[in-house]
Amino acid sequence: MSARLALADVRSPAVRVHTLLTGFQHDPLSVVALAVEVGLVVWYLGAVRRLARRGRRWSPWRTASFVGASALVMVAVQSGLAAYDDEVFTAHVVQHLLLMNLAPILFALSAPMTLALQAAGRPVQQRLLAVLHHRAVAFVTRPVFVAIVAYGTMIGYFLTPFYGLSLEHTWLHDLSHLHFLVSGCLFWWLVVGRDPSPWRLSHAAKLGLLAVGIPVNALLGLVLTGSRVSVAPAFHTVADTHRGGSVLWIVGELITLVSMAIVVYQWLQYEQREAIRADRRLDALEAAEAWRAGHEGIEVPAPAAPVETP
């Protein structure tokens, strides 16, 4: 077994740093995708500027998140990493993690829909709100549907013949990348997103949804790292399958844990905001009672002195 793995390592294509840094994709689809990505960044920055001209501040962290997410998408599908995605399984796993997890998390945290609603005029706002409240959007963002698509994609793509089939057909391979990104954005919009959504999950439910990913990542990791055959024998070696499985398992679990920490942080922020709102409501109620008592000639009793205990 060890001799076979060693031979597989020799046959595996070497990943070169020079290719990763300079091997940009120049096919027509990559050029179009790059133009779309750059256009979205230009739109986002322009919307932030429009808000600034109105005297409204937009979080620079959200802007950095959107730009960072766009950069990660570019790295995944236009950089030298994409030159290895059909030859080196580990490179394809990294590409998968970028498109389905890391970039969508940053997109969700950047709140692009909220920015669009705040920066647009009234007619555009009405159209965007109509889209958000459309039945189709409510269906594709339903928590059960989103979870099945996200976790089902991971299992179905890597543990069925579909992965090898996608490597044989370029159009299917490119369509898979788009599916990764869209399904990832839907999932993370629901879990860590700051934008308005037809569905409002409690923070505890969000943690539960993330917890489902722990055994899914473990299943993928165990099957791939313990496999005696390549995930795609015509393209990858057994050793490469094991390495890619390890990366998918370890990094996937780390992303889940970090995401849980983000949800807990958002939960604490929510509780703090709710406590401040409750204090303000109480202060307003006390002020109204004092005003009414003063105008009606009713003396407002002073607070009782604390009772000293021996």
Give first-to-last CA distance, the chain, whole Å: 79
For 187, the token pair is 């999932």
Between 32-36, 175-179, 198-202, 251-255, the lowest mean confidence (pLDDT) is in 198-202
**Residue among 162, 169, 280 at smallest CA distance from 232:** 162
Residue 35: exposure state from Cβ atoms within 10 A (0-12, 13-18, ≥19): exposed
Most distant pair of Cα atoms in the chain: their distance: 97
Residues 196, 185 contacting (CB under 8 angstroms): no
What pLDDT, on the 0 to 100 scale, is given for residue 297? 55
Tell me, what amino acid is at 135?
R
What pLDDT, on the 0 to 100 scale, is given for residue 40? 95
Angle (nearest 5°) at CA 183 between 37 and 176: 75
Confidence of residue 6 (pLDDT cuts 50, 70, 90): very low
Region at 304 (left for phi over 0; alpha for psi -120 to 50; beta for the rest): beta
The chain-wide mean pLDDT, for the chain, equals 85
Confidence of residue 177 (pLDDT cuts 50, 70, 90): very high
Angle between helices 170-191 and 203-225 (to 10 degrees): 150
User: Tokens 């000639």 belong to which residue?
Assistant: 297
- If you average pLDDT over residues 171-184, what whole number do you get? 92
**C-alpha dihedral, 180 to 183 to 189 to 191, nearest 10°:** -100
For 154, the token pair is 């991971």
What pLDDT, on the 0 to 100 scale, is given for residue 308? 52
Mind listing the pLDDT tens digit for each residue in 73-118? Answer: 999 998 888 888 888 899 899 999 999 999 999 999 999 999 999 9
Tell me, what amino acid is at 71?
A
Tell me the C-alpha distance between 136 and 160, whole Å: 29
Within 10 A of 174 (CB to CB), how many other CB atoms are there? 16
What pLDDT, on the 0 to 100 scale, is given for residue 260? 94
For 163, residues 6+ apart whose C-beta sits below 8 A from its C-beta are 157, 231, 232
Mind listing the pLDDT tens digit for each residue in 79-90? Answer: 888 888 888 899
Burial 201-232 (b: 16+ CB within 10 A, else e): eebeebbebbeebeebbebbbebbbeeeebbb
Task: Please give the model's pTM, rounded to 2 decimal places.
Answer: 0.84
Tell me the C-alpha distance between 82 and 88, whole Å: 10
